[in-house]
Amino acid sequence: MLFEREISDISELPNVAKELLDHFNDYTIFLIEGEMGAGKTTLIKELCKQLGSTNNFSSPSYSIVNEYKTPTTPIFHFDLYRLKKMEELMDLGFEDYLSKKAIIFVEWPQIAVDFLKHEKCVNINIKVTLGRRFIYCSTI
Segment 5-19 mean pLDDT: 94
Segment 105-129 mean pLDDT: 93
- What pLDDT, on the 0 to 100 scale, is given for residue 117? 87
* Rg of the chain on CA atoms, in Å: 14
CB proximity list for 85: less than 8 A, separation 6 or greater: 111
What does the pLDDT look like over 61-113, one tens digit per residue? Answer: 667 999 999 999 999 999 999 999 989 999 999 999 999 999 999 999 999 98
Least Cα distance to 44 among 54, 23, 30 occurs for 30
Q: Is pLDDT above 90 for 130?
A: no
* Annotated domain spans of the chain: 26-81+90-109+119-129
Could you give the CA distance from residue 133 to residue 128 in angstroms, rounded to a whole number?
Answer: 5
Q: Is pLDDT above 90 for 19?
A: yes
- What pLDDT, on the 0 to 100 scale, is given for residue 59? 74
Q: Is pLDDT above 90 for 43?
A: yes
How high does pLDDT run on average in the chain? Answer: 92
Least Cα distance to 133 among 7, 5, 26 occurs for 7
Under the banding of pLDDT at 50, 70 and 90, the label for residue 58 is: confident
- What pLDDT, on the 0 to 100 scale, is given for residue 62? 67
Q: pTM here?
A: 0.93
The CATH label, of 1.10.357.10, 3.40.50.2300, 3.40.50.300, 3.30.2020.30, for the domain at 26-81+90-109+119-129 is: 3.40.50.300
Could you give the CA distance from residue 140 to residue 39 in angstroms, rounded to a whole number?
Answer: 22
DSSP assignment letter at 57: P
**Residue 6's Cα: distance from chain center in Å?**
18
